[in-house]
Structure 1
Amino acid sequence: MGFGDFVRRHAADTRPLGIPAYRRLWAGQGVSFIGFQLTSVAGSAQLYAITKSSFWVGMLGPANLIPLVVFGLWGGAVADAVDRRKLLMIGAVIAWAATLALLVQAALGATNVGLLLATVAVHATGFAITGPTRGAIIPRLVPGDLVPAANTLNFLASSLGTVVGPLLGGVVLARGGFAVAYLIDAVLFGAGFYAAVRLPRLEPLGETARPGLRSVVDGLRYVAGHPVVLMSFAVDVIAMAFALPRALFPEIVDERFAGSPVAFGWLSASIAIGSLLGGLLSGWVGRVRRQGLALTYVIAAWGLSVAAAGLVDQLWLMVALLAFGGAADLVSAVWRQTILQTHAPDDMRGRMQGVFTVVVAGGPRLGDLRAGVTASWFGATGAWVGGGLACAVAVLAVGLAVPAFRAYRPAVRSL
């Protein structure tokens, strides 16, 4: 096989970028997500600087999780009943206002932990609204056969932001401080908002249910009634809640790398570096047929790579091992998103994406909480390594135990 054949078979499928509305949304999301990640890194570092406690860094988990659960499910229900373009803009403005509040607090030197956590919760509210809305928009912008490619490109853009954001954060925090980090996020926000403004009107198709508790419950019943969809959520919760070591980064950097902001930036970017590389070589992902079985194995690989990273002291090796796990996580995310978008009808996609947002964004917050609490019991290294091993064991036990998920093969239809 020549180099050209290798590229055609394995490089990311870029055909969705030929659609102008999708291309603008993709580019705007990519730019604004750099700022979002910069704020996430700055928030963790600021909270640790105030408290010197991984437990309080772990409390960023519930501060994010509660609004993600409430407004993610509600936002998905609303996305099935209103113009998705308008809802995307509303959620973006809420997140932007929270970023400005973080900027003001940092500029004034505020050290109130409760106020910081409350502002983070408002920021998560905006994300909880925009996440499911954006996911529900994708199948309206691209043909059904390009949905997996569009999802891969979305995750690729997010991964790039998650690499650039933390690396930029390490430099900014070392030279400019927390306020400068939040200011950069506030500026980059404009790219995502411009992309939302330029979208066409996206009114609901067919009959719509009034957004509220009943429509949310209908969405959850849909999940419960489809074992493959339910399992796609379950394995992701296992991956993030058990193995994600993010809340331990500040303490590990303090213990092993003399508190270096640059080391903190590299660790924070490491998982996304792997996701970025995995996305660039993702042409094969759409050709995998036994996706349930493959999901189980790649999440087990994620857990083992995290555990291995916790056992080494060299920064480059920790980054490399976490990057390997990040590549596995990117592949699993593409398959899970595609399962949802190709199973659910349009009038249910918003709610499915709401649940997806709760799980994808909420799972890491549970992971933060788990890491912070277990670190207070077993130390940072014990919490890190033990979580990775528990993830691998749990996902193999659960994923292989459900026949419908183990045998699942996609049947992509016209959307």
Structure 2
Amino acid sequence: MNARRSAFIDIRPLTTVPAFARLWVGATLSGLGGQLTIVAVMLQVYDFTGDTFAVSMIAVAGLIPMVLAGLYGGLLADAFDRRAVALIAASVTFVSTALIAALAWTQVESLWSLYLLSVVNSAANSIVMTTRSAITPRLLPRDLLPAAAALQGVTVGIMVMAGPALAGVLVATVGYAWTYSVDVLLMSSLFLGLWTLPRLRPEGTIARPGLESLRDGLGFLRKAGNIRLQYILDITAMTFGQPTALFPAVGAVLLGGGAITTGVLTAAVALGALLSSLLSGPIARYRHHGLGIERSIIVYGASILAFGAVLAAAALGAFAPETVGPNTPNVVLIAAGAAVLAVSGAADNVSAIYRSSMMQSAVPDAMRGRLQGIFTVVVAGGPRIGALYAGTLATFTALWFPPLLGGFLIIGIVAVLVRLSPGFRAYDAAHPVP
């Protein structure tokens, strides 16, 4: 079927550009392994402490190092061979994961070792993400960038859907050491995709990494109204609409099912992302990316609000067995929560397709690393701020309150900001303007 008419995902980036195909396969497999470690660390910290706030602090502790690494990684990507930068950062990610596994096998892991190695891992991975995103537009023509962004949604869907579910099962059956070790094995695939790339020096004027280079990037962003607003919209959605840090406590005390419920809820988000990517033909062909970002984030906010309502119903005892616990889950409300989270994953992925395409099309190559660095900070840092919001507010109120309030805030803030920016709504992918 013609890719221009099909409702299904456009796979031409994989079939026509072997270098991109290898990079995509490596990123998908290594991302799947990374999710095993992320979820296993969350569960292990909750085992150590029994405290949702402690779980949220995993993300918060890594925020500043990850922000600095993402920004500096963008400077490096605009100054040196992007392939080499990505390979070095991937090596650090690999070693930190191997150390987490080794500590688990020797049974000398501690709360602080999990925090420290998670921080190193997230910082190095931030550089990998930044550099890899700057590489993609060099491998593909501009008209295939939305399709490449949709394929990234498949990657996210696979790794976040299968990863947390598999992590929950592995932790519950064979323990933490084996779970971390599987990540080490899968992460090695990332090197294949990076190693086989050609040298990719930045095009145009090469900026020496440093404060002046960063100031140039921020100066460009101040003039790039469409790029700047998409950053603000994404931060809004991730700050008030990230209930992931609540999942261990939700599975333990509110919906029941324990680690399995944590995996199911996390996987539901990814299932929505995966389905929306598989059916992304019309999405990738839609040219009005600013309008698409606005509508998808509003749908995202509504779905997070609905998840808060599901948790509130659970708190009131709706559909619950006599005693909710690890072996007595509230099946009806777990299914309802998973359904609305799947909608949130689909909406977030549609927004990501348009945001990524706008970034890669409208920003010149000489500036792309720095802007991707800021973009990576937004994408990866937003959920960590959201974890702090959700964990802190839930500690002082109830598990259902952060997503319920957050959904209302997302819808209202996004509607106001976009209404004040008519140029964003008028953005046309055929004539990209940063």
* Aligned match of 1:87: 85
Once the two structures are superposed, what CA deviation does each residue of 1:133-167 show, in whole Å capped at 9, x if it has no partner? 00010011111211111121122112211111011
The residue type paired with residue 323 of structure 1 is: A
Aligned length: 410
* Aligned match of 2:33: 35
Provide the aligned C-alpha RMSD in A.
1.6
- Give TM-score scaled by structure 2 length: 0.91
For 1:287 and 1:197, how far apart are their aligned partners in 2?
A: 32
The residue type paired with residue 74 of structure 2 is: G
For 1:94 and 1:246, how far apart are their aligned partners in 2?
A: 26
Cα pair 1:29 1:158 within 8 Å, conserved: no
1:82-231 pair list within 5 angstroms = 82-110=80-108, 112-231=110-229
Cα pair 1:61 1:367 within 8 Å, conserved: no
For 1:259 and 1:115, how far apart are their aligned partners in 2?
A: 28
The residue type paired with residue 14 of structure 2 is: L
Cα pair 2:72 2:373 within 8 Å, conserved: yes
Deviation at 1:110, TM superposition (A): 4.0
Matched, 1:320 2:339: yes
1:6-405 pair list within 5 angstroms = 8-18=5-15, 19-110=17-108, 112-312=110-310, 313=314, 314-405=333-424
Give structure 2 stretches of 5+ with no counterpart. Answer: 315-332
Deviation at 1:9, TM superposition (A): 2.6
Q: Using a 3 Å threshold, how does the CA distance of structure 1 residues 51 and 69 change in structure 2: closer, same or farther?
A: same
Instruction: Could you list the structure 1 runs, at least 4 aligned residues long, displaced by more than 6 angstroms after superposition.
Output: 4-7
Deviation at 1:200, TM superposition (A): 1.0
Q: Using a 3 Å threshold, how does the CA distance of structure 1 residues 209 and 6 change in structure 2: closer, same or farther?
A: closer
Deviation at 1:371, TM superposition (A): 0.7
The residue type paired with residue 238 of structure 2 is: M
Once the two structures are superposed, what CA deviation does each residue of 1:47-78 show, in whole Å capped at 9, x if it has no partner? 11111111111112222211221010100110
**SS of equivalent residue, structure 1 residue 13:** coil
Deviation at 1:8, TM superposition (A): 4.2
The residue type paired with residue 365 of structure 1 is: R
Cα pair 2:393 2:402 within 8 Å, conserved: yes
Q: Using a 3 Å threshold, how does the CA distance of structure 1 residues 47 and 219 change in structure 2: closer, same or farther?
A: same
Deviation at 1:179, TM superposition (A): 1.4
For 1:405 and 1:184, how far apart are their aligned partners in 2?
A: 43
Once the two structures are superposed, what CA deviation does each residue of 1:308-351 show, in whole Å capped at 9, x if it has no partner? 12222411111111001110100100101111111111111111
Identity of aligned residues (%): 40
For 2:158 and 2:5, how far apart are their aligned partners in 1?
A: 22
Higher mean displacement: 355-364 or 146-155 = 146-155
Cα pair 2:32 2:163 within 8 Å, conserved: yes
For 1:391 and 1:253, how far apart are their aligned partners in 2?
A: 25
**SS of equivalent residue, structure 2 residue 398:** helix
Q: Using a 3 Å threshold, how does the CA distance of structure 1 residues 82 and 263 change in structure 2: closer, same or farther?
A: same
Once the two structures are superposed, what CA deviation does each residue of 1:327-383 show, in whole Å capped at 9, x if it has no partner? 010010010111111111111111111111100011111111111111111111112
The residue type paired with residue 221 of structure 2 is: V
Once the two structures are superposed, what CA deviation does each residue of 1:216-267 show, in whole Å capped at 9, x if it has no partner? 1211211111110000100000111111100000111112343422211101
For 2:3 and 2:150, how far apart are their aligned partners in 1?
A: 18
Cα pair 2:9 2:279 within 8 Å, conserved: yes
- Give TM-score scaled by structure 1 length: 0.95
**SS of equivalent residue, structure 1 residue 258:** coil
Cα pair 2:4 2:285 within 8 Å, conserved: no
The residue type paired with residue 11 of structure 1 is: F
